[in-house]
């Protein structure tokens, strides 16, 4: 859910694929596909310090539909939650930053 009066990325879900190194000694890094309710998507890259899941960074790589040409960056992090599927990782993710869309 979007906060502070904005509708950007409101009611979106995402699927991320990432990899990390030894806990506490490196970064988890990966890519996410953020699916909007209207079918448009945003693609991001993230880096999050292992052992410090609330202090990462992200940037946009592109998008489709109204998000084609998007530029964004900022901070990101996650809080793990129980997954409904065995062997799957689920979390509540936050993004805070700036974005611009091509007109």
pLDDT digits (tens, 9 = 90+) for 37-72: 889 999 999 999 988 889 999 999 999 999 999 999
Q: What is the pLDDT of residue 35?
A: 92
Average pLDDT value for residue range 80-100:
82
Q: What is the DSSP letter of 7?
A: -
Higher pLDDT, 12 or 25: 12
| Residue boundaries of the structural domains of the chain | 13-97
Q: What is the pTM of this model?
A: 0.80
DSSP letters, 45-93, are EEEEETT-TTSEEEEEEEESGGGTT-EEEEEEEEEEE--SSTT--EEEE
CA 25/CA 51 separation, integer angstroms: 8
Check pLDDT > 70 for residue 23.
Answer: no
Average pLDDT value for residue range 85-103:
82
């Amino acid at each position: 859910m979007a906060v502070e009066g904005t509708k950007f990325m409101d009611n979106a879900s995402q699927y991320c694929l990432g990899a990390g190194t030894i806990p506490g000694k490196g970064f988890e890094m990966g890519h996410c596909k953020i699916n909007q309710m209207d079918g448009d998507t945003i693609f991001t890259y993230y880096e999050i310090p292992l052992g410090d899941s609330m202090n990462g960074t992200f940037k946009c790589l592109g998008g489709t539909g109204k998000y084609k040409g998007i530029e964004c960056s900022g901070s990101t992090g996650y809080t793990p939650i129980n997954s409904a599927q065995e062997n799957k990782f689920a979390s509540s993710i936050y993004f805070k930053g700036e974005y611009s869309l091509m007109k």
